[in-house]
């Protein structure tokens, strides 16, 4: 066996070959040398395990192709474009909202060059990054003032810290929501330094429960949108108006975490009802928080809007600086908000809203195009089936959106295996498995994805 091992080429010898020097030009000496060492070690282990003659010719022949391929793969970013055929429109793990072309343009311009991020062009003096969106947010929501931070979780943490640290915050037991990941309302309140005073029960909280819990120290009443669950049956919560009046009588402030938060009444477009930020503020809520990349359809951001005195207090707190929004997201947010202003029609221009509003006829045409492009393939069967899509990310949680999917099944692969093969395509395709079928839902894909999906499905090898 020692003889056989000795017959393997040396690292140095391989590095001096013409093929190696070509690879070194592309990938650098260190990566190529390491890749050669790994291949040689594999070959040694194979010899030891099988105790047979190494096929040196085959080894040498495939060595540099293998290395080139594996270095290509290793260098490709793990963060890349993907196709969302899950039927979940705002899919947190797939990056939430697709941005409008205008938002992408604005982002690119600011990324490639210097910008007026914190510069007042009038005076040539330092400005505030909030100025680029504040007036627009106020116009669209009726708020007196606003600021934007990194995301909605940061928005809530910032509000609670700036307005409630060291003081009791009263909130309903029925609204102690966990959003997913590590966001749980009681933990966020604890982190802010405020003291949570939970009132009511899981299914019922009365106005008097809040009133009884308020004392001279109490700073805030906190209402949260139970965005990813619903308590149904024997339930009640006081209205926003009642809570706002109570806050006013007791010298406290009412904050509402809306999570998704929408700027236009989606019911006007035949879309399900979700609290509109303007209505929430008009009901007397002092400060609201909501996400930029959920139903608003913009970049990751957390918007804080409401009464000027409170917003000013939040803006100057050090935590607002620590969680401030970056210039790229700010540019994209500004451009997205612009699309909500006349003469634009947000449902025509903002991909999240477009996707919610896409008709079943369009989805059917997409599904047909996909099945046509794949065509008849031995061992693979395709069927267009009715499905239910979701808004996702805690938006419109109970709302079923009718959709259509292409179900893919094969004689030789399980649905899990098929799903995995599609995830491994150049542009990963994510479907969902339901009742032991792989479904490629047409709701959140776009027409231009269809050819790529078809190629990925066609590339599945059937034995």
Ligand X SMILES: *Cc1c(COP(=O)(O)O)cnc(C)c1O
Element (H, E) at 372: helix 360-374
Of residues 44 and 173, the one with the C-beta less far from ligand X: 173
Q: Which is nearer to ligand X, 31 or 326 (CB)?
A: 326
Angle at 304 between CA 302 and CA 309, to 5 degrees: 155
The continuous run of DSSP H or E covering 19 comes out as: helix 18-27
Q: How far is the CB of 182 from ligand X (least distance, A)?
A: 11
Could you tell me the strand order of the sheet in which 432-434 lies? 380-389, 401-410, 437-441, 432-434
Total residue count of the chain as it appears in this document? 463
Burial letters 378-394, b for 16+ CB under 10 A, else e: eebebebeebebbbbbb
Mask 268-297, x = binds ligand X (CB under 6 A)?
Answer: -----------------------x------
From the list 257-265, 313-321, 347-355, 374-382, the region that binds ligand X by CB under 6 A is 257-265
Query: Tokens standing for 89?
Result: 């429109």
Minimal distance, residue 98 CB to ligand X, in Å = 16
Residue 156 or 408 with smaller CB distance to ligand X: 156
Task: Give yes or no for a contact between 289 and 152, defined as CB atoms under 8 angstroms apart.
Answer: yes
Nearest Cα residue to 446 out of 145, 81, 126: 81
Judged by CB under 6 A, does residue 329 bind ligand X?
no
> Which lies closer to ligand X via its Cβ, residue 224 or residue 407?
224
Q: Pattern of binders to ligand X over 139-158, x per CB under 6 A?
A: ------------xxx-----
Task: Write each residue from 209 to 248 as x if it is in contact with ligand X (CB under 6 A), else as -, in one continuous string.
Answer: ---------------xx-x---------------------
- The binder of ligand X chosen from 302, 306, 346, 351 (CB under 6 A): 302
**For residue 114, what is the enclosing H or E element?**
none
Task: Assess 196 for contact with ligand X (CB under 6 A).
Answer: no
Find all residues with CB under 8 Å of 391, minimum gap 6, and list them: 88, 89, 90, 260, 272, 295, 356, 397, 399, 401
Q: Which is nearer to ligand X, 90 or 450 (CB)?
A: 90
Q: CA 453 → CA 3, 86, 331, 421, 428, distances in Å?
A: 51, 13, 32, 12, 9
Residue nearest to ligand X (CB): 259
Please state, in angstroms and rounded to a whole number, the distance separating the CA atoms of residues 359 and 380: 28
The distance from CA 290 to its chain's CA centroid, rounded to whole angstroms, is 14
**Contacts of 62 by beta carbon, 8 Å cutoff, 6+ apart:** none
Near ligand X by CB under 6 A: residue from 174, 200, 238, 259: 259
Return the structure tokens found at 341.
């202003």
- C-beta closer to ligand X: residue 173 or 368: 173
The binder of ligand X chosen from 257, 338, 441, 449 (CB under 6 A)? 257
- The string of DSSP codes covering 194-255 is -EEEEES-SSB--HHHHHHH--TT--EEEEE--TT----SS-B---HHHHHHHHHHHT-EEE
394 binds ligand X (CB under 6 A): yes
Q: Which is nearer to ligand X, 258 or 404 (CB)?
A: 258
We find the least distance from the C-beta atom of residue 454 to ligand X, in angstroms, to be 33
CB of residue 191 to ligand X, shortest distance in Å: 14
Instruction: Pick the binder of ligand X from 179, 189, 408, 450 (CB under 6 A).
Output: 179
- Identify which of residues 256 and 449 has a Cβ nearer to ligand X in the complex: 256
Smallest distance, Å, CB 290 to ligand X?
Answer: 8
Contact residues toward ligand X (CB under 6 A) are: 151-153, 177, 179, 183, 224-225, 227, 257, 259-260, 291, 302, 393-394
């Amino acid at each position: 066996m020692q003889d056989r091992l000795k017959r393997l080429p040396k690292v140095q010898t391989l590095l001096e070959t013409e093929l190696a020097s070509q690879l070194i030009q592309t990938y650098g000496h260190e990566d190529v040398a390491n890749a050669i060492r790994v291949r040689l070690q594999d070959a040694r282990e194979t010899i030891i395990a099988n105790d047979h003659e190494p096929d040196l010719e085959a080894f040498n022949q495939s060595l540099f192709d293998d290395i080139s391929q594996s270095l290509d793969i290793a260098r490709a970013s793990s963060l890349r474009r993907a196709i969302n055929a899950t039927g979940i429109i705002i899919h947190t793990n797939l990056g939430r909202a697709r941005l409008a072309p205008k938002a992408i343009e604005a982002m690119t311009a600011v990324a490639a060059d210097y910008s007026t991020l914190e510069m007042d062009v009038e005076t040539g003096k330092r400005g505030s990054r909030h100025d680029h969106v504040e007036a627009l947010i106020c116009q669209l929501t009726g708020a007196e003032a606003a600021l934007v931070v990194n995301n909605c979780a940061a928005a809530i943490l910032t509000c609670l810290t700036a307005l409630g640290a060291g003081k009791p915050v009263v909130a309903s037991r029925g609204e102690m929501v966990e959003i997913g990941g590590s966001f749980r309302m009681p933990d966020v309140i604890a982190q802010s330094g405020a003291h949570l005073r939970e009132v009511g029960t899981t299914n019922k909280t009365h106005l008097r429960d809040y009133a009884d819990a308020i004392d001279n120290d109490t700073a805030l009443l906190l209402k949260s949108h139970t965005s990813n669950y619903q308590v149904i049956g024997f339930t009640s919560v006081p209205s926003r108006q009642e809570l706002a009046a109570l806050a006013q009588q007791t010298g406290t402030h009412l904050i509402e975490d809306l999570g998704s938060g929408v700027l236009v009444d989606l019911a006007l477009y035949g879309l399900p009802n979700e609290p509109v930020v303007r209505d929430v503020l008009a009901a007397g809520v002092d400060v609201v928080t909501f996400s930029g990349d959920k139903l608003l359809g913009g970049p990751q951001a957390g918007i804080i809007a409401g009464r000027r005195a409170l917003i000013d207090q939040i803006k100057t707190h050090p935590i607002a600086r620590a969680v401030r929004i970056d210039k790229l997201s700010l540019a994209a947010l500004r451009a997205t908000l612009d699309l909500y202003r006349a003469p634009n029609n947000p449902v025509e221009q903002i991909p999240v809203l477009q996707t919610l509003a896409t008709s079943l006829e369009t989805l059917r045409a997409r599904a047909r195009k996909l099945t046509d492009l794949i065509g008849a393939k031995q061992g693979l069967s395709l069927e267009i089936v009715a499905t239910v899509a979701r808004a996702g990310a805690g938006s419109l949680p109970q709302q079923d959106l009718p959709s259509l999917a292409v179900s893919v099944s094969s004689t030789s692969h399980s649905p899990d295996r098929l799903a995995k093969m599609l995830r491994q395509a150049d542009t990963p395709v994510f479907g969902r498995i339901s009742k032991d079928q792989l479904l490629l839902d047409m709701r959140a894909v776009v027409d231009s994805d269809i050819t790529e999906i078809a190629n990925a499905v066609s590339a599945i090898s059937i034995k």
